[in-house]
Chain A
Amino acid sequence: EPEVTQTPSHQVTQMGQEVILRCVPISNHLYFYWYRQILGQKVEFLVSFYNNEISEKSEIFDDQFSVERPDGSNFTLKIRSTKLEDSAMYFCASSGSRDGGYTFGSGTRLTVV
């Protein structure tokens, strides 16, 4: 069964450093997303991406965040200057249609120290 692949599975970084979280969505999917889950809290929407541009972003997705689909297969989330409160599980997801259920990756656990 096709999978969404995320790397790394765990990233530890110092506050103020830049991190790039990587995702390989399912190859024929058209819609791409990033969500995050802070420990003990709900899964929160960050950003959606379609047709090579951001469709929607949440209040969390401020100027420190950016997304790219650099080569037609990867989908990356960059946090320019990490803060302690950015520590969370970050999930990438993709879907083949607007009404299709997403396929989520296994997540990257980001720990900012």
Chain B
Amino acid sequence: DQQVKQNSPSLSVQEGRISILNCDYTNSMFDYFLWYKKYPAEGPTFLISISSIKDKNEDGRFTVFLNKSAKHLSLHIVPSQPGDSAVYFCAASAAVQGAQKLVFGQGTRLTINP
């Protein structure tokens, strides 16, 4: 089941520069997309989300872009800070009644170098 794919297992970025994490999806029924950050021995932490009716959502240093025609979304972090080093998961959900099930990508390990 590869409905959500993060093709880069790792990314290394210089402190202060922009980090761009990418995610592709195949299920056109997905209508809500989220990014989570995960440190070792902790649960995923919600970062930012975007509804399929938008193409951009910004929250401080984090911006998510959605290209529905390409079934692609990206997370931009600028400027990158050492504390941003973590594994980042892209997740997607489709409208269902009741609770919302998330489908996760494999994750991208981001390392910010001082």
* Residues of chain A at the chain B interface (Cβ within 8 Å): 4, 6, 31-33, 35, 41-45, 48-51, 55-56, 91, 93, 95, 98-99, 101-107
Q: Mark B94-112, 1 if CB is under 8 A from A, else 0.
A: 0011111111111100000
* Cα separation A78 to B52 with both chains bound (whole Å): 36
* Residues of chain B at the chain A interface (Cβ within 8 Å): 32, 34, 36, 41-47, 49, 51, 89, 91, 96-107
Determine the chain A residues whose CB is within 8 A of the CB of B32 once the complex forms.
Answer: 99
Chain A contact surface mostly: strand
B100:A106 contact, CB within 8 angstroms? no
The residue from B42, B46, B51, B99 contacting A50, defined by CB atoms under 8 A apart: B99
Closest residue on chain B to residue A30 by CB atoms? B99
Determine the chain A residues whose CB is within 8 A of the CB of B36 once the complex forms.
Answer: 101, 104
A107:B100 contact, CB within 8 angstroms? no
Closest residue on chain B to residue A41 by CB atoms? B106
Within the complex, the shortest CB–CB distance from B77 to chain A, in Å, comes to 17
B100:A98 contact, CB within 8 angstroms? yes
Chosen A-B contacts, 7 in total, with CB atoms closer than 8 Å, are: A42-B105, A43-B91, A48-B100, A50-B98, A99-B51, A99-B100, A104-B45
Known: A4-B43, A50-B98, A99-B100. 10 other contacts (CB 8 A): A42-B104, A44-B104, A48-B98, A48-B99, A48-B101, A56-B98, A98-B99, A99-B49, A101-B47, A102-B44
Determine the chain A residues whose CB is within 8 A of the CB of B47 once the complex forms.
Answer: 101
Closest residue on chain B to residue A91 by CB atoms? B43
Determine the chain A residues whose CB is within 8 A of the CB of B34 once the complex forms.
Answer: 101
B100:A31 contact, CB within 8 angstroms? yes
Determine the chain A residues whose CB is within 8 A of the CB of B96 once the complex forms.
Answer: 55-56
